[in-house]
Amino acid sequence: MSSDAKWQDSAPVKYALGSIIPGLVILAWWLGARSGSAVVPSFGEVFNVLTHPFDEPPDLNSRSLAFSVMMTLIRLFLGFALAIATAVPLGILAARNHVVEYVFSPIVELARPINPIVLLPIITVLLGVSSIATVVYGQTEAWRHDVPDQVQTAMILILWYGAFFPIYTATIQGVRSVGTAWLETMRLMGADNAQTIRHVILPHTLPFIANGMRIALGTVWLVVIAAEIFPGTRSGLGYMLCTACKTSEYEYTFSAIIVIGAIGLVTNSLLRRFEERTGHWRAVQR
């Protein structure tokens, strides 16, 4: 094809093409529901769950959809924030200081390929029932604080682990690729270390970090749901979809899956926007 304006590039055609496969999935769902299968809920049942997010499920040993989403997001946010707060400074340090690099790079290379979910059982055993609430309010008082008591330290640790490496690696890559000419410029200007980091290293590395965050979020989003399916949890989207399967309330399983997809989509595109904003200057080379 050599013509410039290709037929497939107009917006309506693009959307139509992009809808084919989701359309087939919905068709399969509809056919499944019609066939009378007990496992496949009708559109109406799922729609009903999604539009009443604050209703407690009647037979299900789980809290409302909204509460489940909140718990999952709190865990995700804490693990993710902890990963950013540690991976970025450590990455900057390791990229600029050989001693730090030599201390951390072997353990990082060793730990990186280990799937965080693999570590979940052992970490859960090690840390037991400890949660944000037991840490903050103590063992005996923790049960009074519902939400923080359901944010298990083991889970935060696993999420931190899942998010740390992509962010750490991206930070190092960003710092290493800062042009020497800029560093020399700052040196001649009389800038100290902190000023060089603030005006050159961080702004240069930020789009790299944003990209690492996006990759990390992809991992962590899988990990948090998987971790919630494990025993020892009483809430979250993973918990909801799993218990709903056990009690055959599949409309909750389907709703949870849809919400998981939607949140993944939104957070990913937010981070993509962040990446574009922090890296707008990279787009044009001339």
Partner 1 sequence: MTSNTPCLSFSGVSKSFVSRDGEIVRAVENVTFDVPRGTVACLVGMTGCGKTTILRLAAGLETPDSGTIVSPSGEIGYLTQQHTLLPWMTTTDNIGLPLKVKGMNDAARKARVNEIMEALGLAGFGSLYPYELSGGMRQRAAIGRLMASESSCWLLDEPFSSLDERTRHQLQKLLLETAAATNVTVLFVTHSIDEAVWLADRIYIVSAWPGRIIESLEIAEPKPRDRISDAFGARMEAVRKRLEAAIG
179 binds partner 1 (CB under 8 A): yes
Distance of CA 252 to the CA centre of its chain: 22
Q: Which of 95, 200, 224, 240 binds partner 1 (CB under 8 A)?
A: 200
Minimum distance of partner 1 from residue 286's CB (angstroms): 7
Total residues contacting partner 1 by CB under 8 A comes to: 21
- Map residue 131 onto helix, strand or coil: strand
Tell which residue, 168, 156, 176, has the closest CA to residue 96.
176
For residues 157 and 200, which CB has a smaller minimum distance to partner 1 in the complex? Answer: 200
Binding region for partner 1 (CB under 8 A) out of 119-127, 175-183, 242-250, 265-273: 175-183
Minimum distance of partner 1 from residue 94's CB (angstroms): 23
Both tokens assigned to 24: 């087939």
Q: Which of 115, 177, 195, 269 binds partner 1 (CB under 8 A)?
A: 195
CB-based contact 164:86 (threshold 8 Å) = yes
Both tokens assigned to 209: 């970090």
Half-sphere exposure of 59 (CA within 13 A, CB side): 9
Q: Which of 96, 145, 199, 234 binds partner 1 (CB under 8 A)?
A: 199
Minimum distance of partner 1 from residue 283's CB (angstroms): 8
284 binds partner 1 (CB under 8 A): yes
277 binds partner 1 (CB under 8 A): no
- CA 56 – CA 252 distance, rounded (Å): 11
152 — phi, psi (to 5°)? Answer: -70, 140
- CA 45 – CA 65 distance, rounded (Å): 14
Minimum distance of partner 1 from residue 58's CB (angstroms): 55
Tell which residue, 191, 211, 218, has the closest CA to residue 282.
211
280 binds partner 1 (CB under 8 A): yes
Residues that bind partner 1 (CB under 8 A): 179, 181-182, 184-186, 188-191, 195, 199-200, 203-204, 280-282, 284-286
